[in-house]
Structure 1
């Protein structure tokens, strides 16, 4: 795997809250791919910070507690965290930044390039932002234990919900004003943005077992969400989850992960193809509106790339 030159740097800014069973692997994988890490911890009580201590001085730039207006009981202040990430992207010395989650792994769409080397290639082509295709991996048994290799343990994924499909969370350092918060962290915005057409791989592991799902959803997330942020349409991912829900999935309802097939799909159904399909759909809809009796041919293929095409 080709690595980056020493004069090109990428920093992933990660916010954590009780992710001790996975955060060491996430940070270690980023550092192995020549990406530095800056951690914002939101008051974890499970040893999350201790899990990353071995990486201090080896790619972990710092660990910072999240500042709060109302102390530890203030809840999950996502907007404040996003604003701090934006501020750090102005202050830290790096060429590119990633707004990174604590339970995800990012990979290049080209298997011979590390994440950092792939970002550098995108930079050389004149682009300054990167979208990712998110794959939500689900447990199909309850066997995962802390210390297990997460990516080996979870072999099946589902497509993300519509509100999670846009993942433009990697960008080149700029003097322009960066807006990460207005989209809830899904879509970094700034003047002159040029998004690379091929999405990168984002492997997401939000729930790692039954007990983990019950604790995370009912105690560590929903109970901490702020009403003012919920009113903006944020934090809806667990709305349909009820007490007694099984977090263990039937593998027949999921897609087995095939890295080569996923990467091929990323190449074939890139953002440029999607934009052409959406423009065609708009023209067809307008033609039908003007002359409904003509019923022009309608394209039946999905306009938005979905990993299930790789089945």
Structure 2
């Protein structure tokens, strides 16, 4: 059984090596869409061809973050590559089984064997807790041990699926793979999300680097406060607001419905 992570990137050199290595070690393949990266991302990706990365394609950068076009292309890829499992994946994510010693591929295979064709993920957002922390260029998983469980609505991250027909990734902005007769596994898996690695990285990413489609923001209502990021309103959560999953486990008793670094 093949499981393919569909990744779209633009200038993700901070994350890409770790992301591709983790996917390979977890028994997955990956396919990359590059949006005209100007940093070393493409060089990093090419080194993984034949080592888990099965293909790289170029997608022109139109001057903004074309999320709608990216989602449409990922849905097309799932049809073109065949009847396999897929994960709609980002470079700043690490996905895993909640069961120690079980790989992600083994967890997905177990869901498949039980007759399920879609899987939800519990999202845990790992962030710095003060403005002096900087995990860029480091083992950011070790450097950022604090997280919060992010659950703004039920079925927040149905990002893994197996379906022989068309899949709809647009209706929920990439958060849910929709298709007729979907059989969702009752056992969610884990998503570690590292949206930024320092305060400087946060401000640079959302204030300067990321440009959003006016159509997506104004007509589709996507991207929320990311599209109008205000560093004066943003804050980093204190350690006492967070959990340490490596110590406490994947606690879901204090879910957040907003991000402190966007909502203040």
TM over 0.5: yes
Higher Cα radius of gyration: 1
Match of residue 226 from structure 1 = 213
Aligned match of 2:59 in 59, 62, 66?
A: 66
TM-score by length of 1: 0.75
Cα displacement (A) at 1:248:
4.1
Aligned match of 1:172 in 162, 174, 179?
A: 162
Residue by residue, what CA displacement relative to the aligned partner does 1:255-306 show, whole Å, maximum 9, x if unpaired?
Answer: 22236621xx5xxxxxxxxxxxxxxxxxxxxxxxxxxxxxxxxxxxxxxxx3
Structure whose residues are more often helix by fraction: 1
Matched, 1:159 2:149: yes
Kindly indicate whether the alpha-carbon contact (under 8 Å) linking 1:22 and 1:150 is maintained by their aligned counterparts in 2.
no
TM-score by length of 2: 0.88
Q: Matched residues in 1 for 2:191 and 2:100: separation?
A: 14
Aligned match of 2:47 in 43, 54, 60?
A: 54
The CA RMSD over aligned residues, in Å, is 2.1
Gaps of at least 5 residues in structure 2 are: 256-264
Match of residue 75 from structure 2 = 86
CA gap 1:9/1:307 in 2 versus in 1, 3 angstroms? farther
Kindly indicate whether the alpha-carbon contact (under 8 Å) linking 1:136 and 1:204 is maintained by their aligned counterparts in 2.
yes
Aligned match of 1:25 in 9, 18, 43?
A: 18
Match of residue 308 from structure 1 = 254
Q: Matched residues in 2 for 1:129 and 1:116: separation?
A: 14
Match of residue 257 from structure 1 = 245
Q: Matched residues in 2 for 1:134 and 1:87: separation?
A: 26
Aligned match of 2:193 in 180, 204, 223?
A: 204
Q: Tell me, what secondary structure is at the counterpart of 1:38?
A: strand
Match of residue 138 from structure 1 = 127
CA gap 1:138/1:225 in 2 versus in 1, 3 angstroms? same
Q: Matched residues in 2 for 1:164 and 1:208: separation?
A: 27
Q: Matched residues in 1 for 2:93 and 2:154: separation?
A: 13
Q: Matched residues in 1 for 2:41 and 2:253: separation?
A: 31
CA gap 1:249/1:12 in 2 versus in 1, 3 angstroms? same
Match of residue 184 from structure 1 = 173
Cα displacement (A) at 1:148:
1.2
Residue by residue, what CA displacement relative to the aligned partner does 1:171-203 show, whole Å, maximum 9, x if unpaired?
Answer: 0131x2211112110111111100001110000
Match of residue 296 from structure 1 = none
Matches within 5 A, 1:122-137: 122-137=111-126
Cα displacement (A) at 1:143:
3.6
Q: Matched residues in 1 for 2:10 and 2:153: separation?
A: 22
Aligned match of 2:140 in 146, 150, 156?
A: 150
Between 36-45 and 124-133, the greater mean CA deviation after superposition: 36-45
Matched, 1:41 2:30: no
Q: Matched residues in 1 for 2:232 and 2:133: separation?
A: 19
Gaps of at least 5 residues in structure 1 are: 1-7, 266-305
Q: Matched residues in 2 for 1:88 and 1:44: separation?
A: 20
Cα displacement (A) at 1:52:
2.3
Q: Tell me, what secondary structure is at the counterpart of 2:161?
A: strand
Cα displacement (A) at 1:134:
0.3
Residue by residue, what CA displacement relative to the aligned partner does 1:123-147 show, whole Å, maximum 9, x if unpaired?
Answer: 0000000000001111124343443
Q: Matched residues in 2 for 1:251 and 1:55: separation?
A: 36
